Structure 1
Amino acid sequence: MHEDDGLLAIADAHGPYPVRHGNRAIPWIDGVPFYERLSAAIAAARSRLWAIVSFIEPGFRMPDGVAWWDLLDRSRARGLDVRVLFWRNPRFSSTRHVFLGGPAEREFLAARGAAWAARWDSSAEPAHCHHQKAFVLDAGEPDALAFIGGMVLSNATLARPGHRRGPHKHDAFLELQGPVVADAEHNFVQRWNLARRDPDAPPWPDDSRAGPLPWPARLPPERGDVAVQLARSLAPGYYRGPTPVVGAGEFDSDAGEATVLAHYLAAIAAARRTIYIENQHPGQHAVLRALDAALRRGVRVVMVVPAEPMPAIYRAAAEVAALARDGRADEHRYGPTFNRLAALADHPGFTLAALARSDADGHREIYTHAKLCIVDGAWATLGSANLVDLSLERDHTELNAAWWGRAHCLPLLLQLVAEHTDVVVDDDLDALDRFAAHARASRDSLLRGGPLLAGCYALDPATYALRPPLTQGR
């Protein structure tokens, strides 16, 4: 049996998109390399620039200093069909970096004479988020490109690999070319055409200019040898009605979709050697349960998360800990999740780790915002979906791309391990073993009052989000 055969079963039949063969797939790690590449690709685009935006810092600029809004205006001025699908939820917990499409935003667009088109896809529930991040260039053309990932349009993302200077946020995107781009086009067209409208944020500049789009009718030609499949999370009731998927018939998304979760569970179940995860969240319950089973089979697992997580994780951990003192942790929505995470510490093959760096300016945490997983160095997924129920269980709107093949996935694993440990290896088992040993040695050094070793250190799964980082105050 070929080393990748067990992982080919990951392809899930419940989502709309089949595995597409003959693609080119290039991961971009950290913000400066990615946004430099995106800027170059937009400059070379000849017909269309379509973007899906969840969060945007109003003053975001590309690495060359060009403001995002100027990039859109310039692209439209040279004849591109520029369309941006924004998320709208005025009731969300924080809208500081959400371009809501209300009176203030429309005045901003009118003042700059924005001639490109926009729609706002509105959330029905206060906690719901249209969380996808994607770009499609020259849709419908043979050389169309798609970019899928988790990076937001924020100056904080403009980090360089290694994080030795500049912003301290670690993230990733995936560039795609070939037949799978038709599915990225379909995702955009489906959400654009069926966007939930809020009367307070009508299409810009009007219904005619921001009118509906035709469904993709053909696949771009093959551009490489990578098998890729798109996977999504969608809440029920958001995108109703049959939509045609090229070569795969019609599909109705009314029931919602959870193919990102299906991918994770199938890939972890198929793992024989290694599982490497980077995510902003420390795990969703079913995923953690699957990791426990993999560890019992002898699979090595490394999970990289922020040592200083988002406030909601701190709050949930504290609430669970308070209930646990009375034996009531399971009453909390995330009680079973934190318990599952803590139990993974019993497996010697599991390492929970955070990224950090030390230099003449002192110690600093690196915030892991990437959402990726690599299994056996032969299958990978990368996109917008966090390892949390909201992102995986038919709630938030998410988009990931999975790809196959040791020749295409192992280099990404080795690149990430080298960035985080300054250690160069050529095998997935060696990579995870060296990462785990390095992270533990770095943690032990910090506990003794010594220095951080290279770019990572191990965390205690049982106390995650309950204690300050070991580097705090150094």
Structure 2
Amino acid sequence: MSSAAIPFVQSGSYPTRRGNLVRPLIDGEPAFRRICEAVEGARFSVWLTVAFLWPTFEMPDGRGSLFDVLDRAAARGIDVRLICWRPDEETAGLRRNAFWGSPEQIDLLHQRRSGVNIRWDRAHPGFCQHQKCWLVDAGAENETAFVGGINLNPHSMVTPAHDGEGQNHDVLIELTGPSAVDVHHNFVQRWNEASERLVNEGCWGAGSTANLPFPSRLPAEHGSAVVQIQRTTHAGRYVNTQASPGGISFNIASGEETNFHQYCTAIHAARRSIYIENQYVDVPEIVDCLLGALQRGVDVVLLTPAQPDVRLPVPAERRAFLNARMTLGTYPNFLLAGIAGIGADGHRKSIYVHAKLMLVDDEWATVGSCNLHRFSLFGNGEMNAAFSEPNTVRAFRCELFREHLDQDTVACDDRAALQLFRKIARANRSRFEAGDPAWQGHAFELDLATYVG
């Protein structure tokens, strides 16, 4: 366990492991450029889990589609494997942006003579296999994982400048070191127990019918970060525990809510600052934890989509929750913010916050696929990487704030930086209300009294 003030949790499958190197990657173009470099340098294998893949998605710098990148790797003898989510009837509306093995998608693989191996995997009915992770050279000394929330979506293929229309903001981390073995274990467990592996057109590729061996050794140490890979899995989802292959410590649970427990634990332990970016904050338990932190005097900034979907009526029980959440806005040490960039017409356009991250006290962070709603916390298949390494977390905060505020906060401690965030975001809101596009950075204050996202 880490000796840091923000504790990790013991409820999940994977322990904390020391000796890791963590590199945050902010926004899709830099992140996918680095992933492509890793794929192009792979010596043995490239494995990834896919939730959403839009037909129009292309990798940066003219590399082509996802399958262009992967088929080039397969053509030089690399073992390329995908686990793709197959929505059920309750989630059928999401098939339009998923590579779920439709007849047209199978035809595409035939036409390409694709050399990748694919298994399709359903979630528990009504939920999503939402993990987004990559693993390069699994089992090797240089095993490298990428964990985050960035979809294979053209709106995600953006730079931190966010100039233009239809922009998403997102993050992931690159991970090397002992904790990469847990991303490896997760992939093997999902591959071997993929729900569709035995049904017609539940697999693709000559190597897709064989199971994989579980990892048998830890990767070498590469840095000083303490990391824990954390998951949400539905109860009873996995039966093959493989508790300690090769002497590696695992404790595979039948159903995990580790992401939920970690968020609550970290917020309870915060002493100075909490910075959150998330699509949703839609769980009363998380709101209660944030209220407790505000009452202790912790500075809290929550960055979320500026334009939530308000087209549907709000039922009474939902209104009760919104009223409770609105209490956050009564604290002077709290800020709800969105971000907006300059569109092609010179006017401000909302940037959709798709990131799922939390930074606490400039020493601890979590990044992954887990939204703060009940689907992600209690039923989807999710993966986050929580890590403690103050230099990395502080640099991460400075890079995010440089993007959002157009301000260097290297000289600020975490609390001063969040106070500056509030000051700039509130000034930008005043400019927005006055119709003045000359903001500082992208962030602007939102009104919790009217925000229903």
1:106 equivalent in structure 2: 106
Secondary structure of the residue aligned to 2:67 is helix
1:33 maps to 2:24: no
- CA gap of 1:290–1:428, structure 2 versus 1, over 3 A, is same
Q: 1:392 to 1:164 in 2, by over 3 A?
A: same
How much has 1:308 moved relative to structure 2? 1.4
Paired residue for 2:186? 187
Which residue of 63, 66, 69 corresponds with 2:67? 69
2:123·2:380 contact (CA, 8 Å) conserved in 1? no
Mapped contact 1:196–1:238 kept (Cα < 8 A): no
1:19-58 → structure 2 map (5 Å cutoff): 19-58=16-55
Amino acid at match of 2:220: P
Cα–Cα, structure 1 residues 356 and 245, in superposed 2: closer, same or farther, change >3 Å?
A: farther
Pair 1:449-2:448 in alignment: no
Partner residue of 1:384? 369
User: 1:237 matched to which residue of 2?
Assistant: 236
Preserved contact between residue 358 and residue 452 of structure 1 (Cα < 8 Å) = no
Residue 363 (structure 1) shift: 1.4
Shift of 1:14: 1.3
Distance 1:23 1:263, change over 3 A: same
Alignment-mate amino acid for residue 78 of structure 2: L
Deviation at 1:59, TM superposition (A): 2.7
Tell me, what secondary structure is at the counterpart of 1:382?
Answer: strand
Are the counterparts in 1 of residues 363 and 391 from structure 2 also a CA contact under 8 Å? yes
Note closer, same or farther for the CA distance 1:171–1:245 as it changes in structure 2 (3 Å cut): farther
Structure 1 residues 298 and 166, CA, compared in 2 at 3 Å: closer, same or farther? same
1:415 aligns to what SS in structure 2? helix
- 8 A Cα contact 2:347 2:437, kept in partner: no
Aligned counterparts, 1:363-402, within 5 A: 363-393=348-378, 395-402=379-386
Q: Which moved more, 1:44-53 or 1:235-244?
A: 235-244
Write out per-residue CA displacement over residues 293-336 of structure 1, whole angstroms, 9 at most, x where no aligned residue.
00000000000001112x4xx356x313xxxxxxxx3xx3x445
Which residue in the other structure is 2:15 paired with? 18
Say if 1:167 and 1:158 are closer, same or farther in 2 by CA, change over 3 A. Answer: farther
Partner of 2:447: 460
Q: Contact conserved, 2:130 with 2:380, CA < 8 A, in 1?
A: yes
Query: Could you give the per-residue CA deviations for residues 57-90 of structure 1, whole angstroms, max 9, x where no partner exists?
Result: 1132111222111111111100000000000014
Residue 139 of structure 1 is matched in structure 2 by: 138
1:361 corresponding residue in structure 2 = 346
Q: In 1, distance between residues paired with 2:244 and 2:11? A: 13
Normalising by structure 1, what TM-score? 0.89
Distance 1:336 1:141, change over 3 A: farther
Aligned AA (1:380): A
Q: Distance in 2 between matches of 1:352 and 1:109?
A: 45
Paired with 2:10 and 2:275, the residues of 1 have a C-alpha distance of: 25
Aligned residue for 2:220, secondary structure, equals coil
Task: Compute the displacement of 1:361 (Å).
Answer: 2.1
Paired residue secondary structure (2:439): coil
Deviations 1:193-245 (A, max 9, x none): 11112735321135x54311000011001011111111001111221232235
Contact 1:150 1:171 in 2 (8 A): yes
**What are the superposed Cα offsets for residues 237-280 of structure 1, whole Å, 9 maximum, x if unpaired?**
221232235655453433x1011111111110110110000011
The one-letter code matched in structure 1 to 2:387 is W
Alpha-carbon offset, residue 463 of structure 1:
1.0
Partner of 2:119: 119
Q: Deviations over 1:152-190 (max 9, x none)?
A: 111111111131346511000100001011000001001
Q: Which moved more, 1:405-414 or 1:38-47?
A: 405-414
User: For residue 203 of structure 2, what is the aligned residue in structure 1?
Assistant: 203
SS at match of 2:370: coil
Alpha-carbon distance between aligned partners in 2 of 1:436 and 1:52, rounded to the nearest angstrom? 37
Identify which range, 298-307 or 278-287, moves more after superposition: 278-287
Aligned equivalents of 2:452 and 2:250: distance in 1? 44
Q: Contact (CA 8 Å) 2:218, 2:248: kept in 1 or not?
A: no
For residues 203 and 358 of structure 1, the distance between their equivalents in structure 2, rounded to whole angstroms, comes to: 44
The equivalent residue for 1:83 is 81
Asked whether the 8 Å contact 1:216–1:245 carries over to 2, the reply is no
CA distance in 2, matches of 1:458, 1:448: 14
Three-state SS of the structure 1 residue aligned to 2:286 is helix
Q: What is the identity, as a one-letter code, of the residue corresponding to 1:303?
A: L
Alignment of 1:352 onto 2:352:
no
Task: Indicate conservation of the 8 Å contact 1:228/1:402, yes or no.
Answer: yes
Following superposition of structure 1 onto structure 2, how do residues 241-320 of structure 1 map, counting pairs within 5 Å? 241-245=240-244, 247=247, 249=249, 251-254=251-254, 256-309=255-308, 311=309, 314=310, 318-320=313-315
% of aligned pairs identical? Answer: 38
Matched AA of 2:187:
F
Counterpart contact for 2:224–2:389, Cα < 8 Å:
no
CA 157–107 in structure 1, closer or farther in 2 if over 3 Å, else same: same
Question: Shift in Å at residue 414 of structure 1?
Answer: 1.4
- 1:111 Cα deviation after fit: 1.4
Describe how 1:158-173 pairs up with structure 2 within 5 A.
158-165=157-164, 167-173=166-172
Instruction: Please tell me the residue identity of whatever aligns with 1:353.
Output: A
The alignment covers a number of residue pairs equal to 443
Q: Normalized against structure 2, the TM-score is what? A: 0.93
Decide whether aligned partners of structure 1 residues 194 and 358 sit closer, same or farther in structure 2, where only a CA change above 3 A counts: same
Give the structure 1 partner of residue 151 of structure 2: 152
Q: Alpha carbons of 1:155 and 1:16: their partners in 2 closer, same or farther (altered >3 Å)?
A: same
Tell me the SS of whatever aligns to 1:183. Answer: helix
How many Å separate the matches in 2 of 1:72 and 1:31? 18
* Distance change in 2, residues 1:447/1:257 (3 Å): same
Equivalent residues of 2:279, 2:354 under 8 A apart: yes
Letter in 1 for 2:371: N
**Pair 461,383 (structure 1): closer, same or farther in 2 beyond 3 Å:** same
SS in 1 for 2:203: coil
Distance in structure 1 (CA, Å) of the matches to 2:108 and 2:34: 28
Q: Return 5+ residue gaps in structure 1 as ranges.
A: 321-328, 467-474
